Amino acid sequence: MNPKQNKKRILTVTLAVGVACILVFIWGNSVLPGSVSSMISGFVMKLLGWSMTEYTVRKAGHFTEFLLLGAVLGLFFTVKGTKRKDKTLYLCLLALFVPLMDETIQLFSDDRGPQVTDIWIDIAGYACGCLPVLVVAAVIRWAWQKKRKQ
């Protein structure tokens, strides 16, 4: 294996581990009882000095964690060299599966339940993370191909 392939493999594995860690974080938070989740939201509000409602902080948390997931998954499939059609399919399926699983986990909590609004917030965050990565990757690929032709 040449050094370039080795770097690509290391980056791909690193991104895969990053995706796994983000999923553990997302789904781990869904397992928590509502009282613990509420304490964490209160801690974040104090830490950041926000004067928002706990509800707003929770929704911002949903959006942010899925924004990060979308960006890392977009990078993963780009670095891995997945074909455009397959990459689109995988990213769209994951955009639906992960939020649905996140809210399904909450069905098993005594004092929490799934919310459709959270699924939409999750998908929006995911798209806001994933789409810029894909656009930048496409522009870089286009510029690189154009330079190679010269």
The single residue listed with the structure tokens 């997302």 is 26
| Number of structural domains found in the chain | 1
pLDDT digits over 55-96, tens only? 888 899 999 999 999 999 999 999 998 898 999 999 999 999
Is the overall model pTM greater than 0.85, yes or no?
Answer: yes
pLDDT digits over 28-50, tens only? 999 988 888 888 888 888 888 87
Q: How high is the pLDDT of residue 149?
A: 82
Burial class from Cβ neighbours inside 10 Å (0-12, 13-18, 19+) for residue 81 reads exposed
Which residues span the domain enclosing 73? 3-149
Burial class from Cβ neighbours inside 10 Å (0-12, 13-18, 19+) for residue 85 reads exposed
pLDDT digits over 1-30, tens only? 788 888 999 999 999 999 999 999 999 999
Rounded Cα distance, 119 and 109, in Å: 17
**In the predicted structure, residue 110 carries a pLDDT above the cut 80:** no
Rounded Cα distance, 60 and 40, in Å: 13
Rounded Cα distance, 76 and 15, in Å: 6
pLDDT digits over 115-148, tens only? 999 999 999 999 999 999 999 999 998 999 888 8
